[in-house]
Amino acid sequence: MIYNWVYKEVGNDFRFKDLAKDFNTDEYIIKILINRGIEPSKIGQFLNPDEKNFYDPFLMKGMKDSVVRIKEAIERKENILIYGDYDADGITSTAMLYRFFKMVGLKPYFFIPHRLEEGYGVSRNGIDFALSKNVSLMITVDCGITAFEEIEYAKRKGLDIIVTDHHEFADKLPAAYSIVNPNREDETYPFKSLAGCGVVFKLIQALDKFIGVDFSVIDNFIDFVTLGTIADVVPLIDENRTIASIGLKHLKNVKNYGIKSLIEVSDLKLDLINSYHVGFILAPRINAMGRMDNATKAVNLLITDDKNEAEELAKELNKKNRLRQEVDQDVFDEAVEMIEKDSLHKKQTIVIAKENWHEGVIGIVASRLVEKYNKPTIMISIVDDVGKGSGRSTQNFHLYNALKELEDVLLSFGGHRLAAGITLKRENIEEFKIRFEEYAKLISEGKDYEKNIDIDCVLPLDRIDHDFYEKLEKLEPFGYMNPQPVFLSKNVDIVGYPLMLKDKHLRLCLKQKEYSYDAIWFNNGKEMMSKLTQPGKQFDVVYNIMKNEYSGKILLQLRIIDIMESA
């Protein structure tokens, strides 16, 4: 893939060294923050997030009405049901609220729809389950904002529903008892990008303020909201950064049997847990149960107080994840074959449909296809006369807005900028493909989506050492909108002959003046070997800095993103 290097330079007149002294960091760390739009007055808060950074939960519309109704339910010992979603965000949201109600003396119920049998969101089946348990208050988590008919049905049956959600939605709101969603058009809450579990965490904070509880909200719930926030790939800035930063520290001393068991079966070390481990190792295991089966067992893992049960459930999630990986790879290979055969990668968008693709993996496969082709991608699994699709997008294409323009050919849709789900009739799939492509061409003016590399700063190799890396770690947790810093070093020599690994990766030694560093370049070996071995050539190198542990030693290594011959 050809990359477009994007570098923003704020100017050398900025007082980087003075700010570095003020905040006990390196001037290049200050450059990164300023280049990313962090105001000097906010640098201290960014580098040292703590509980003081949390906003007042009562700033969110619907919060007061919600906690008043929940307080009433607690005092009356009403039966409460938590209605969740089958992904990691919904699962952690459900577990948090369930544990909260248990801790204040209630015996709550929870319901997670089966992805393949019921699909996403509130269903009549779930409402009927609540009614069968004499539930008088149902609280949705990570869903419900578009459940108009279902909530009307619940109201007719005498059931109060509080909707907590974070997804974008059309113009109207469901007729719920109250609605808490930072993405409401009339919302004035300072931060709109909370995950579903983040909204639930704010609800618990509000309940603590309103009724008072004899336990720490942070100590009991920060682990859950951290898992869900990172897993849902929401922007790791502002309040999400505060959540994840505090939570990752807590995870190193986690007490919850379920989370601890999941970490153990994943072969991770507690004291080394970071955002990558949560997003790419723990979250897929939590998600796997909902993708391949019923997510109820994933919730049970997080709410059990039985160590043996937690260990067995963690093993089961691990096993389901291995199965998910196998199915995922099969569908991915099939999708790539279809795309290459019909040259779909030459279009502005990719929409592919097939009978009976596993609905639990098409979202992951769509993500992998976006990574491979850099095109907005929707995969549709057709069962009988209905197609269910999962879409993922690039940074410069708002998927939800595109679907709003095409809702006349859809039975339903929902999601946000980068990810969405759709349902449509089989007979409308071809029309949807054509119009989706036309819409993309219109807003992109026919230009291909460029794959940008956003470079944080030019860094001489001689500045890289363990002290610098420790200061770099203060920028964690990394994730969407707070990515791992990308550096550019210019006029670099390749020392010796690059080593090919597994016929596709390159290990090489980079040298600039008197300083050299080992580097690894994944998946670019064959294409670049001949270019990098030309005598007398110097290169500009774009990379991340990684820390590796080898034979008890901590070593720094550069992970190359792209290389270009120096001008």
Q: How far apart are CA 112 and CA 299, in angstroms?
A: 9
Q: Where are the beta strands (DSSP E) in 405-522?
A: 412-415, 419-425, 451-455, 457-458, 487-501, 505-512, 515-521
For residue 82, give Cα distances in angstroms to 47, 178, 246, 304: 36, 15, 26, 16
Bridge partners of 516? 511
Q: How far apart are CA 137 and CA 156, in angstroms?
A: 13
Dihedral, CA of residue 284, residue 366, residue 230 and residue 277, to nearest 10: 50
Predicted confidence at residue 12, as pLDDT, reads: 62
Q: How far apart are CA 44 and CA 46, in angstroms?
A: 5
Q: H or E element: which one contains 556?
A: strand 553-565
Across the chain, which has 567 residues, the per-10-residue mean pLDDT values are 80 79 95 92 94 96 98 98 97 98 97 87 95 98 94 97 90 93 92 98 98 93 98 95 97 96 95 93 96 94 98 97 96 96 94 94 95 95 95 91 95 88 96 96 76 92 95 95 96 85 85 91 74 83 89 87 91
Q: Show contacts of 112-118: CB within 8 Å, 24+ apart.
A: 112/84, 112/85, 112/86, 112/290, 112/294, 112/295, 112/296, 112/299, 113/85, 113/86, 114/86, 114/294, 115/86, 115/290, 115/291, 115/295, 115/359, 115/360, 116/359, 116/360
Name the amino acid, one letter, at 278.
Answer: V
The structural domains of the chain, ordered by start, are 58-318 (3.90.1640.30), 342-451 (3.10.310.30), 456-565 (2.40.50.460)
The percent helix, strand, coil of the chain (3-state, each to 5) is 45, 20, 35
Number of Cβ within 10 Å of residue 269's Cβ equals 11
Contact assessment for residue 232 and residue 257, using Cβ atoms and an 8 Å cutoff = no
Dihedral, CA of residue 52, residue 56, residue 57 and residue 62, to nearest 10: -170
Name 509's Cβ contacts closer than 8 Å, sequence gap at least 6: 494, 495, 496, 516, 517, 518, 519
Name 403's Cβ contacts closer than 8 Å, sequence gap at least 6: 391, 410, 413, 415, 420, 422
Predicted confidence at residue 446, as pLDDT, reads: 60
